[in-house]
Amino acid sequence: MTRHPNHPIDLRSDTITQPTPAMREAMARAEVGDDVFGDDPTVLRLEARVAEILGKDTAVFTPSGTMANQMAVRAHTEPGDEILVEANAHVYFYEAGGPAALAGVMCRCLPGVRGIFTATDVEAALRPPNQHFPPTKLVCVENTHNRGGGSVWPLERIQDVAAVARQHGLRLHLDGARLWNASVATGIPERDYAANFDSVSVCFSKGLGAPIGSALCGSRECIQRARRFRKMFGGGMRQVGIIAAGALHALEHHRARLAEDHANARALAEGLSKLPGVELDPATVQTNIVVLKVKGTPTAALAHRLDAQGVRVLATGLDTLRAVTNLMVKPEDVPAALEIFGQVLRTLV
């Protein structure tokens, strides 16, 4: 079986989603204004709604999750400070050196298990006040964790980390790009996760399927400061209600359906785990990200061969592939993808 190249099964990321017809209609009808002047009515509705869901005072709409995270880092720190991040965190691994370039801070990397560290890890990383050391100001948590395979932080673990951080006067930021997935997977409301943090970033253009946009939420003081950095980083936007309307539609209509992506990911993982040369424990798949190890062939070459047959995945390491179920992947695509995986892998054994 070969998938037609114009209709591949695209598992590279949940960022590849296309606007639904209903979303396009909402975008076409959107009221607009000038967001830098603060008078775009659709943006204001989106910001109010996401702040309400997360239980925060207010929010600011941003073009991307990377910008939202970097605004948060800059808002909570000063140049020469240090932040604590997990060694594979998006804010450290995938944001082009933003903490150093934009905030002038050092990243102290904590060891994690599938992206999740402990309060003890935080405690162990803290140093006594001394003129030789950068002052530690911020702890960053990523939930769900991308390079951890979509792993979900237990709420109790977050609470333990937050308690230690507060004890030492540290602020906390949640990279919640896929917080919606964590909430759907556990049944824990987003606001219960967010309550432990000074700021929270969330993404509308991953699992929720909007074409563009994220938001940073927090106290009025925090977001007022962050808005200045949004402008500094080039993120001030004008008649952006057209985009915000897509994000608002996704927020109101696409959160519950993330359960379908999780079910598709579990089915994909179960099938992949039975194929020759694949190392994968399906029990580790908690949300919509499947990470598998493949023996005996460079994964970049394997991803290329799969692409030629109509299944798109990402090589995330010399022996690892990542597949992410999303709005564009239907249940019937899973057995089709598994058949192509099996055909390609069997030619390599």
Which CATH number fits the domain that encloses residue 190?
3.40.640.10
Q: What is the CATH number of the domain that holds 317?
A: 3.90.1150.10
Among 227, 253, 279, residue at a domain's last position: 253
Residues 155 and 181 occupy one common structural domain = yes
pLDDT tens for the 349 residues of the chain, in order: 565 556 799 999 999 999 999 999 999 999 999 999 999 999 999 999 999 999 999 999 999 999 999 999 999 999 999 999 999 999 999 999 999 999 999 999 999 999 999 999 999 999 998 999 999 999 999 999 999 999 999 999 999 999 999 999 999 999 999 999 999 999 999 999 999 999 999 999 999 999 999 999 999 999 999 999 999 999 999 999 999 999 999 999 999 999 999 999 999 999 999 998 899 999 999 999 999 999 888 899 999 999 999 999 999 988 999 999 999 999 999 999 999 999 999 887 5
Does a structural domain hold residue 2?
Answer: no
For residue 7, what pLDDT is reported?
A: 76
Residues 174 and 241 occupy one common structural domain = yes
Does a structural domain hold residue 129?
Answer: yes
Residues 101 and 240 occupy one common structural domain = yes
The amino acid at residue 318 is L
176 and 206 in contact (C-beta within 8 Å)?
Answer: no
Residues 103 and 224 occupy one common structural domain = yes
Among 201, 231, 253, residue at a domain's last position: 253
Does a structural domain hold residue 3?
Answer: no
Residues 79 and 148 occupy one common structural domain = yes
Order of strands, edge to edge, in the sheet holding 278-279? Answer: 278-279, 289-294, 320-324, 314-315
The amino acid at residue 334 is V
**What is the spatial distance between Cα 64 and Cα 233, in angstroms, rounded to a whole number?**
12
Residues 240 and 281 occupy one common structural domain = no
Residues 261 and 244 occupy one common structural domain = no
For residue 295, what pLDDT is reported?
A: 85
**What is the spatial distance between Cα 154 and Cα 42, in angstroms, rounded to a whole number?**
34
Among 253, 274, 298, residue at a domain's last position: 253
Residues 169 and 106 occupy one common structural domain = yes
For residue 6, what pLDDT is reported?
A: 61
Of 289, 292, 274, which is closest to residue 346 (Cα–Cα)?
A: 274
Does a structural domain hold residue 4?
Answer: no
Does a structural domain hold residue 21?
Answer: no
The residue with tokens 């935080």 is 122
For residue 137, what are the contacts with CB-CB under 8 A and spacing of at least 6?
76, 77, 78, 81, 82, 83, 105, 170, 171
Residues 248 and 282 occupy one common structural domain = no
Residues 241 and 325 occupy one common structural domain = no
**What is the spatial distance between Cα 99 and Cα 91, in angstroms, rounded to a whole number?**
8
For residue 111, what are the contacts with CB-CB under 8 A and spacing of at least 6?
86, 87, 117, 121
For residue 17, what are the contacts with CB-CB under 8 A and spacing of at least 6?
205, 206, 209, 210, 211, 326, 327, 328
For residue 213, what pLDDT is reported?
A: 97
The alpha carbon torsion through 36, 37, 40, 44 (nearest 10 deg) reads 80
Residues 88 and 133 occupy one common structural domain = yes
Its domain, for residue 305, covers 9-16+257-346
For residue 297, what pLDDT is reported?
A: 82
**What is the spatial distance between Cα 8 and Cα 70, in angstroms, rounded to a whole number?**
34
What residue spans of the chain are helical by DSSP H? 21-28, 41-54, 65-76, 90-93, 98, 119-125, 155-167, 179-186, 190-194, 220-232, 241-253, 258-272, 299-309, 333-346
Q: Collapsing DSSP states into helix, strand and coil, what is residue 57?
A: coil
Residues 197 and 216 occupy one common structural domain = yes
The number of domains in the chain is 2
For residue 19, what are the contacts with CB-CB under 8 A and spacing of at least 6?
27, 209, 210, 211, 246
The residue with tokens 């002052």 is 135
